[in-house]
Structure 1
Amino acid sequence: MNPSNQRDGKVPGIGHFIHRSTDPRHDLLMDRLAGADLNQRRMDVAASLISLTSERIPVAPNVDFAIARTAGWLAHALEEYEETPIWFRPVGRYVVSPASHQPPVPVD
């Protein structure tokens, strides 16, 4: 974590004044997610990010921080899906007429 993102030695959204070692809601949510029919690759990525973060910052993230961000990200995604065209998913089509197609030319 970049020190410029820290405030008074604290990282916003990391650490809880009551739950010092870990947020017990984390285990509950992860258990629920493990039981859901989700994309395993995404769960593996999330687990890797949690592991990497906990190695770099020895304080557990707050579940309320994560949930608040998730709600915002979902709202943003829904807004993007309403846009026409969807800006972050451009569609490319290669169109060539048969008359303009030329056979490959060998390079000497």
Structure 2
Amino acid sequence: MTNSQGRDWTYGFDPSGRLSEERHYDGRMYRYQYDVADRLVQRTAPDGSALHYEHDAAGRITRITAQKADGETDGITELAYDVAGRLTKAASPMRWWNTPITVRVR
């Protein structure tokens, strides 16, 4: 994707077709890792910080742990779903942030 200043935002994919990297207009690169079930398990930022994702048996994200570049935990968000699979809880004692899956979580 190219913005009005001619700068590119690009995406890279692994051999399985999963998003593996995202390069922003300013050159920052984010990397994505998956488990053997093709579920997103980590998104690493250019500064070395990361978001770690845990899933339930249905493959839904149940916990997001934000980790600083030095390995210290920066925040934990827990998610819950009803029997129909709809998000019913997104709780974090730390703060709000937007995840790469476009769910605003707290």
Identify, as 1 or 2, the structure richer in helix: 1
Is the strand fraction higher in 1 or 2?
2
Greater relative CO (CA pairs within 8 A, separation 6+): 1
TM-score of the alignment, normalized to the shorter chain, above 0.5: no
Normalised to the residue count of structure 1, the TM-score between the two structures is 0.21
TM-score (norm 2): 0.22
Bigger-Rg structure (1/2): 1
